[in-house]
Amino acid sequence: MKSIQSKLVTGLLLSLITIFIILWLAVSTNIQKLAENYISTRLQHDVETLLTSITFDSQNKLSINHEKIDTIYNRPFSGHYYSIQHQNTVIRSRSLWDQSLRIPENIQKNYQQSYQQGPENQLLIVITAHFNKQDEDIIISIAEDLSPVQEDIKIFKNYFSILASLVLISLLIIQIAILKNGLKPLRKIGDELSQLEKGEISQLTTDVPGELASVVNEINQLSDALHKRLKRSRDALNDLSHAIKKPLTVLQQLTDKNHESLSSESLEIANNQIESLQKITDRILKTARVAGRSNKNKAFNIIDDLNILIKTINTMYPDKQIDVTLDGPDHLNIYIDREDMLELMGNLIDNAWKWASDRIIITIIQSRTLDISIEDDGPGIEDESLKQLATRGSRLDETVTGYGFGLAIAADIVRDYDGTLSFCRSETLGGFRADIKLPLKS
């Protein structure tokens, strides 16, 4: 998706290019017309000058006083030519040499402008007029070569094009700088939203332009409402957990107290049901406390939090000496709640610790996704049993407390973050291996 800045720059560029093309066409067309109008006006003056130099004798024979005519008309192919038609006689300037000008038909007394090919393929602009002098009709045509003027116009167009291009580029650079400066508040809000999602800040800065103030205030209010709702939910679940555990404890105590009056079968059924209810309640409460992507809580720190988690789990198994190898980056750029990550990693590491003999390897790789693998050197499980591990409420072994429930809780957390959790046998250690793949938001 294109950014606002790229759309504005593209629109501005197209607008400026369109304007400068129109300006270039207007200037080019008008400069051509101005030049031709100037030449046409000068040629009309030359026609009048030539007209004053014409006289007729008593035999009505036309003669020209060459002293009144510019000498340029005497130089062959000079680019300045004239032609005088009187009766059936045509008098040409010496500059035409042996060529002639084409006289347009239906000449009016007013000056008539035309274009034609002249000597040496010169493009001529021709002014033709009909006069009556001393009761004699004459037609005068004066022409000038446009090639030098067109060459000058071409040079002017080239200079104008270069200047217009430089102005266009300068305007574009200035406008891009203005746009970047104007969009700084949006980029700042975007960065702060990223920090808010990571849990690095609790609110967006309210020092923004008036157009964005209402948006920022709404986001801050929504963030506060979600945070308070999540906190109330977790507090309520904690209260519910304590409230449920108390009657369960009472039931357990009554069962223990009256175990002599109950049959062994009834006693076993009661104990199993109480234990099952406790585990299912723990799992549901833990799953319900998952914060998900939208949160204001502290982000997970791989160095501090994961090492503390490993030390905590180690104290829970004083009879085991497990060598834990942690291979991962110093910092995780992942949008996941710290409590959720601790719950996820805690369940998987705890499960590995229960079954491991001597070693656990934790590997964390962050690229396009966050890939986590936890493997142990325990006995592992059969292939046909692997798919059942993430099934809600399943337990594959009744001799180890919590096995199966923890993996299902981990699967719920991963699913909430649109990730995947898979299980297999560890090729390195030969035991059980859990693989997590979480998508990373850009």
Domain boundary among 289, 324, 357: 289
Residue 441 has pLDDT above 80, yes or no: no
Q: How far apart are CA 371 and CA 438, in angstroms?
A: 7
Q: Which of 270-279, 357-366, 399-408, 423-432 has the lowest mean pLDDT?
A: 399-408
What's the CATH code of the domain at 204?
1.10.287
Instruction: Name the average pLDDT for the chain.
Output: 80
pLDDT of residue 398: 41
pLDDT of residue 361: 94
144 and 22, same structural domain?
A: yes
pLDDT of residue 349: 92
Burial class of residue 305, CB neighbours in 10 A (0-12, 13-18, 19+): middle
> What's the alpha-carbon Rg for the chain, to the nearest Å?
48
333 and 264, same structural domain?
A: no
DSSP letter assigned to residue 330: S
Q: How far apart are CA 137 and CA 384, in angstroms?
A: 119
125 and 43, same structural domain?
A: yes
pLDDT of residue 294: 47
Pairing state between β 323-327 and 359-366: parallel
Q: How far apart are CA 132 and CA 315, in angstroms?
A: 126
Domain assignment present for residue 230? The answer is yes
Domain assignment present for residue 299? The answer is no
- Determine phi and psi for 142, rounding to 5 degrees: -125, 135
Q: How far apart are CA 54 and CA 65, in angstroms?
A: 7
pLDDT of residue 392: 44
Domain assignment present for residue 109? The answer is yes
130 and 107 Cβ atoms separated by less than 8 Å:
yes
In this prediction, residue 389 has a pLDDT band, given cuts at 50, 70 and 90, of: low
**Shortest CA distance to 340 belongs to which of 193, 190, 195, 199?**
199
Domain assignment present for residue 190? The answer is no
216 and 147, same structural domain?
A: no
398 and 270, same structural domain?
A: no
Domain boundary among 266, 289, 312: 289
284 and 207, same structural domain?
A: yes
pLDDT of residue 246: 66
DSSP string, 270-303: HHHHHHHHHHHHHHHHHHHT---SS--SPBP-TT
435 and 365, same structural domain?
A: yes
In this prediction, residue 234 has a pLDDT band, given cuts at 50, 70 and 90, of: low
Task: Provide, rounded to the nearest whole percent, the portion of the chain with pLDDT above 90.
Answer: 11
348 and 243, same structural domain?
A: no
323 and 285, same structural domain?
A: no
Split into its structural domains, the chain has a count of 3
User: What residues make up the domain containing 67?
Assistant: 4-151
312 and 241, same structural domain?
A: no
Domain assignment present for residue 160? The answer is no
Residue 61 has pLDDT above 80, yes or no: yes
What's the CATH code of the domain at 84?
3.30.450
324 and 279, same structural domain?
A: no
Burial class of residue 239, CB neighbours in 10 A (0-12, 13-18, 19+): exposed
- Token digits of residue 403: 């096995």
Residue 414 has pLDDT above 70, yes or no: yes
Instruction: Tally Cβ neighbours within 10 Å of residue 24.
Output: 15
Domain assignment present for residue 399? The answer is yes
In this prediction, residue 235 has a pLDDT band, given cuts at 50, 70 and 90, of: low
Average pLDDT over residues 175-197: 82
The string of pLDDT tens digits covering residues 294-324 is 444 556 777 778 888 888 888 888 888 999 9
The string of pLDDT tens digits covering residues 5-59 is 788 888 888 888 899 889 888 888 898 889 889 999 999 998 888 888 888 887 8
Q: Which of 128-137, 182-191, 193-202 has the lowest mean pLDDT?
A: 193-202
What's the CATH code of the domain at 422?
3.30.565.10
Residue 232 has pLDDT above 60, yes or no: yes
Q: How far apart are CA 296 and CA 155, in angstroms?
A: 66
Domain assignment present for residue 9? The answer is yes
Residue 238 has pLDDT above 80, yes or no: no
Secondary structure of 5-59 in the HEC alphabet?
HHHHHHHHHHHHHHHHHHHHHHHHHHHHHHHHHHHHHHHHHHHHHHHHCEEECCC
In this prediction, residue 396 has a pLDDT band, given cuts at 50, 70 and 90, of: very low
100 and 205, same structural domain?
A: no
Residue 399 has pLDDT above 50, yes or no: no
Pairing state between β 54-56 and 62-64: antiparallel
The string of pLDDT tens digits covering residues 145-181 is 998 888 888 898 888 889 988 988 898 899 888 888 8
pLDDT of residue 296: 46
233 and 248 Cβ atoms separated by less than 8 Å:
no
- Token digits of residue 34: 């101005």
Domain boundary among 289, 318, 339: 289
The string of pLDDT tens digits covering residues 75-131 is 888 889 998 888 888 888 888 888 888 887 777 667 888 889 888 888 999 999 888
Domain assignment present for residue 392? The answer is yes
